[in-house]
Structure 1
């Protein structure tokens, strides 16, 4: 599993847990990994968890660590998930972009008779009980945090050997917990998929919007600078982050009909698609200059459901794939 890794934002959860237990996490684990580095190699994460276990030998350490999870530990993916309407929608985003937070074994989300199954195989190896238990418990706790519901799972399965006492696991997950399974799996009931997600932190969303607006100001594109549609472009900033990128969405935000907005844009020599593409293009250039953002995260921030769709659009705008553009501009800035 030499290429496996986890997000630095996710690792921060362990530092916060140790601090809550009265330990100095920096003294125990060393300096907190820089968020700009984005990822921490899996061996380093395994070593951190093992070190924490020497200080807290009580059973089910991973479950206790996970209780402090929130959307911010999942980075942009966590914030994007909170923009979804239901837990089921958020789980679909997890399947597409989980590697931006937890790049160990690929996750697959499959519907089944009793609900939905999220499954991790062992094709890239077995990271160990502490890593697996922290990851699965964190996902369950995040779902509880996003929905505001206690959310008892239908079933949990781990590939690792059974602990001496299963009771803490059954209490935490609220359902049967199996061990020595062929894959790691989490089954949620159908009734949970339709649960609406609570609103995200307004202050956090304001910060994301402020960052996007700053990018729009800083990225110089003569063809669109001081364009007449800047008022509508400002509204698009938050709509794009939420994945609401239709003409109807923008018109509704301005309390007008889609036809009226089309007419107003046409009077200014523009169109909704041109405004949307130009705004996304300018944001993309700014986001790509931030080395802490993965391409999958940038796709989410731009409202694309798939990274491949972002890549196609960016190639159309610039003639280059996003990774190529980032590499060229990084070299030019040296």
Structure 2
């Protein structure tokens, strides 16, 4: 188990067969060994994985690959964390489980927001490079596929957003599958109604979950042993900042540590919670400022600031310049 990599199972061969894409051709196009998927657990760096995804798009010639993969979803091709989610009582519980175990599959984080009117899931990435937009679309659409597979109902999301929605021939395919258009938004999100979030999964299986859970916890513990506390804090902040929850208690609760233990471990790594928080905010600010579609006010909110003026002051302390000047210099 390696932090920061995508983990693929031998079932990847079955998925490619369903798509009519020869495995060897795909791996050659991506510059990877042709026997890669014969491993019990193949791992790819983000750059390698995204090369595979881009090659898959090119070979298949499918402008709406995310929809095609969602339609082809089969329980037998799921990896354990996804299958465990399918064993959940409902979509809400499935989201909680995957928020915990998603990083076993790759450098992704899942934000779960239970609103009065429903359930909003936000996909975030823990490292560069950023994925192709079509892969982001697939990550969102796969939640609709999971909801439909679990409930055996034609669940439609209430809302779905992306920084760069599908274009051209893909637009209609996504709308036909989802039942709603993919709208522009600062972050990739999919929102379900409260009714759909609570609709019982017909695939719920507590006995199977009890089989999966110990192994998933062991894998997560293996991952945590090779990951620094500062890295774990950064990952937690990526999920918590947009909700304005960026204090020591919030992060300690997410990492299942006491406040004192969290602070002590950070000190042993010669850093502090405040230093990691500031580094994370600064890096995210730089990332968002490279996207002209995200306003400075939106960036302030995504970084967990109560008002834009606090963000302005902090950014000036980090860089000696204003967000607008930094954005202009990056263009």
Do the structures match in fold with TM over 0.5? yes
Mapping for residues 305-320 of structure 1, pairs under 5 Å: none
Q: Describe the superposition over 1:236-284 as per-residue Cα deviations: whole angstroms up to 9, x where unpaired.
A: x8684377xxxxxxxxxxxxxxxxxxxxxxxxxxxxxxxxxxxx8xx89
1:168 matched to 2:157: no
* Structure 2 counterpart SS, 1:107: strand
- Aligned match of 2:98: 94
Q: Aligned-pair RMSD on alpha carbons?
A: 3.6
- Aligned match of 1:219: none
Distance in 1 separating the partners of 2:53 and 2:25: 14
Q: Which runs of 5+ in 2 are unaligned?
A: 28-33, 225-252, 259-331
- 1:117–1:148 CA distance, 2 compared to 1 (3 A): same
Mapping for residues 27-38 of structure 1, pairs under 5 Å: 27-29=25-27, 30-37=34-41
- Aligned match of 1:16: 14
- Aligned match of 1:295: 221
Please state how far the C-alpha of 1:84 moved relative to its aligned partner: 2.1
Mapping for residues 30-109 of structure 1, pairs under 5 Å: 30-37=34-41, 39-104=43-108, 106-109=109-112
* Structure 1 counterpart SS, 2:79: helix
Q: Describe the superposition over 1:78-123 as per-residue Cα deviations: whole angstroms up to 9, x where unpaired.
A: 232233222211111111221112423x211002243111012466
> How many residue pairs were aligned?
220
Max Rg structure: 1
* Structure 2 counterpart SS, 1:33: helix
- Aligned match of 1:136: 140
- 1:169–1:109 CA distance, 2 compared to 1 (3 A): same
Contact 2:157 2:192 in 1 (8 A): yes
- 1:116–1:296 CA distance, 2 compared to 1 (3 A): farther
Mapping for residues 230-269 of structure 1, pairs under 5 Å: 240-241=210-211
Q: Which runs of 5+ in 1 are unaligned?
A: 206-236, 244-279, 299-305, 313-334
TM-score by length of 2: 0.56
TM-score by length of 1: 0.56
Distance in 2 separating the partners of 1:71 and 1:86: 16
Please state how far the C-alpha of 1:74 moved relative to its aligned partner: 4.1
Q: Describe the superposition over 1:178-225 as per-residue Cα deviations: whole angstroms up to 9, x where unpaired.
A: 13x210001011111111112369xxx9xxxxxxxxxxxxxxxxxxxx
- 1:141–1:57 CA distance, 2 compared to 1 (3 A): same
- 1:238–1:124 CA distance, 2 compared to 1 (3 A): closer
- 1:96–1:239 CA distance, 2 compared to 1 (3 A): closer
Contact 1:82 1:198 in 2 (8 A): no
* Structure 2 counterpart SS, 1:183: coil
Q: Describe the superposition over 1:125-178 as per-residue Cα deviations: whole angstroms up to 9, x where unpaired.
A: 531212212222222212211221121111111122541242111111122311
